[in-house]
Structure 1
């Protein structure tokens, strides 16, 4: 398994491309909005001869879904979002212009993802774990073999996702981190939706919002 990260849009959002040994890939949280950002992502996929299989959203705030439509059309692949994020996703077109993104184009959802299910890409298997609080149906994607989580906006390096947006709940987020994230091995690397990566062990000791 190989994971390539990109930083896109004014929110400095992390987009990840996960690829298998067979050259198939998944795009997680495509935050690309400007033409040069879209071109950067497409160039990486082209230069590495990758076959895009799906677009995946960990959650559906605007900074994580900006590239859904253009990439879905480019690669003719399904868009998959967490089942409990549909209301959040549906609201994006209404507020996108307020954030200076009047060019946002909405995409149709093809498949809902559920807590406890697995997402497979050839030899790669990702367990989906719902960690609500930053948003109502936020999923993290855990690969046990490579000891990595694609974590969206749940847990950052010495921080956590904001909970003041519609559907957020601070107490739920803290509890779910304790019960669903901190119970995983300490050496698991967390690839967050913003900022540098971290490990569960580091956050259990150093995170000022939620300690083990």
Structure 2
């Protein structure tokens, strides 16, 4: 059974997720840690629970979701995976990171390009990759049908949606992704988003003002 531990990092209040199961293998999703105390918080949890990180998987490559990738790759000697359409966003981060107060951003290499309908495997667990562009051109989400959850990045929030005014964003595409890929899931699926608290598919169908 997959356990999900969340951490809120950086002034962006970004949710970083650590997923692990009974084998103790773990994956890190969207690491937004930057300050030493943020790395310590994540690393202390990993050590206290005797976990073995085996990969970093990103839903997309905006700055708040990639700040910790390079350091964690080095710390645990693990690969980084991203959708290829988000590579330009990743490469752009170093050009604007200092403007947001992150002067030492280290651009990570990508070892695996994610694609829809593929799976992510760790320990005895697996996640299905779905393609949900709109907030970012190569945005993906990770679904587990057995436990009925989605690691959704910045697509669908509690009574909100991801912004589309950044490079590569498109409102019509985002709304279509939500309706075609997320709202076709059962209502009791939990959505762990890139910001704010978790929500459910059913709650957002009824209460999200952007999707009435």
- TM above 0.5, one fold? yes
Aligned twin of 2:78 = 77
> Which aligned pairs between 1:151-170 and structure 2 lie closer than 5 A?
151-170=152-171
Q: CA RMSD of the aligned region, Å?
A: 0.7
Aligned twin of 2:116 = 115
- Per-residue deviation, 1:123: 2.1
- Give the distance between the partners of 1:118 and 1:73, measured in 2 at CA: 24
- Give the distance between the partners of 1:109 and 1:175, measured in 2 at CA: 28
Aligned twin of 2:12 = 11
- Per-residue deviation, 1:183: 0.4
For each residue in 1:39-64, what CA deviation from the matched residue of structure 2 results, as whole angstroms up to 9, or x when unmatched? 10000000000000001111000000
**2:211 aligned counterpart, secondary structure:** coil
- Give the distance between the partners of 2:139 and 2:64, measured in 1 at CA: 14
- Per-residue deviation, 1:115: 1.1
**1:202 aligned counterpart, secondary structure:** helix
- Per-residue deviation, 1:122: 2.4
- Give the distance between the partners of 2:80 and 2:166, measured in 1 at CA: 23
Contact 2:34 2:68 in 1 (8 A): yes
- Give the distance between the partners of 1:175 and 1:89, measured in 2 at CA: 24
> Which aligned pairs between 1:84-123 and structure 2 lie closer than 5 A?
84-123=85-124
- Per-residue deviation, 1:120: 1.2
**1:171 aligned counterpart, secondary structure:** helix
- Give the distance between the partners of 2:24 and 2:126, measured in 1 at CA: 15
- Give the distance between the partners of 2:76 and 2:176, measured in 1 at CA: 38
Aligned twin of 1:210 = 211
- Per-residue deviation, 1:116: 1.2
- Give the distance between the partners of 1:56 and 1:127, measured in 2 at CA: 12
Contact 2:90 2:107 in 1 (8 A): no
- Per-residue deviation, 1:97: 0.7
- Per-residue deviation, 1:106: 1.1
**2:71 aligned counterpart, secondary structure:** helix
What TM-score do the two structures reach when normalised by structure 2?
0.98
For each residue in 1:62-106, what CA deviation from the matched residue of structure 2 results, as whole angstroms up to 9, or x when unmatched? 000000011000000001111211111111101101111112111
For these two proteins, the number of residue pairs brought into alignment is 211
121-130 or 18-27: which moved more? 121-130
- Per-residue deviation, 1:176: 1.2
**2:186 aligned counterpart, secondary structure:** coil
- Per-residue deviation, 1:124: 1.4
What TM-score do the two structures reach when normalised by structure 1?
0.98
- Give the distance between the partners of 2:182 and 2:4, measured in 1 at CA: 20
- Give the distance between the partners of 1:34 and 1:122, measured in 2 at CA: 29
Q: Which runs of 5+ in 2 are unaligned?
A: none
2:87 is the counterpart of 1:59: no
